[in-house]
Structures are given as C-alpha cells and as structure tokens.
Amino acid sequence: MGKRKKKTPHVPAHSKQKRVEKNYPESALTDAIKAVNDKKMTPFAASRKYRVPRTTIIDHVNGRYSSSNKNGYGPLLTPKAERELVKFINICTDRGIPVTSTNLKPYVRGLVIQSRRKTKMKPSGPSGKWLNTFMKRNRLSFKVMRWKCCNCVYM
C-alpha cells in the first residue's frame, strides 16, 4: 500500500496573522514610487533595487495608500495645548491644589471641545489609556503631584 499524505489542518487566512513591520526607510519607498511613476522601472525591479515589497509599491502607485497615511488616530490635543495643560498641572501642584484623573479628564474634555478639533474622543472625555500615555509622555506622576500638594507650605 502507498503512503498516505498527512492532512494539514485548515487554517483560515484571517486567523492570527502577524503583522509585519516595515524594514525599509521611508525614502526608499518614495524613490521606488517615483521610479515606477516615471516609467523608469517596473514595480518588480524597483522592489529589488530599493528593497521595498512589490505589493506596497503597487498599492502606492495605484493610489490605495498615500505616503502620508499613518497608523492610529491623530492626537487629542495639539502640542501647544499639551504644553499649556502641563503648565496648568504644574501651577496647580505648586499652589497645593491636587490634580487627579477625575478632575483632569473633564478639563481635557473642555479643551478639546473648545478647540473644535475632530477627534475620536468619547462624550465622557478622554480615556484612562490616553491619560496614562499623556502622563508618561510629559514625565508626570500623580504620586509626585499628590506628594507636592501634601508638602506645600502656605504663607
């Protein structure tokens, strides 16, 4: 009798595919797109020369993606508004006014509404994740702020 082939289990295409991060500089992609658009080389040749995936080059040439497409949403606040918020937090803690997440979220919500920016913020205000990343990004800590408020000397 002949050997039976082992059946490989069927795995749907969408199940647990790992997303591959790009391993090429942005300049290589723009150079490859320019070469293909100028009809100097084919997507295959550009892929080999610039070490950018052929399908990525084709997608950009056909307009499926623009070079300005980035992952994720835009920022909730502008850099200027974030600096002003950090200043506000520092002034409050220096004066002994405690700043907590419960009173900071409505303040940020007000800033976003006042700026009339289109964001994906919920009506209840920014999420806890946004607040944590904001605190890390600006090297702030609720523990340090609480400590400053408790040890504030009034004159």
Centroid of chain to Cα 83: 19
Mean pLDDT for the chain overall:
79
Phi-psi region at 153: left, alpha or beta (left = phi > 0; alpha = psi -120 to 50): beta
- pLDDT one-digit tens code per residue, 21-32: 778 888 999 999
DSSP string, 116-128: T-----BTTBS-H
The pLDDT of 35-50, averaged and rounded, is: 94
Please give the backbone phi and psi of residue 96, each rounded to the nearest 5 degrees, phi first: 85, 15
Q: Residue 31: its pLDDT value, please?
A: 94
Looking at the whole model, is its pTM more than 0.85? no
- pLDDT one-digit tens code per residue, 73-109: 667 888 888 888 888 888 888 888 888 888 888 888 8
Q: Residue 64: its pLDDT value, please?
A: 81
Share of the chain above pLDDT 90, in %: 19
Rounded CA gap, 82 and 37, in Å? 40
pLDDT-based confidence at residue 43 (cuts at 50, 70, 90): very high
- pLDDT one-digit tens code per residue, 52-77: 999 999 988 988 876 555 666 667 88
DSSP label at residue 18: P
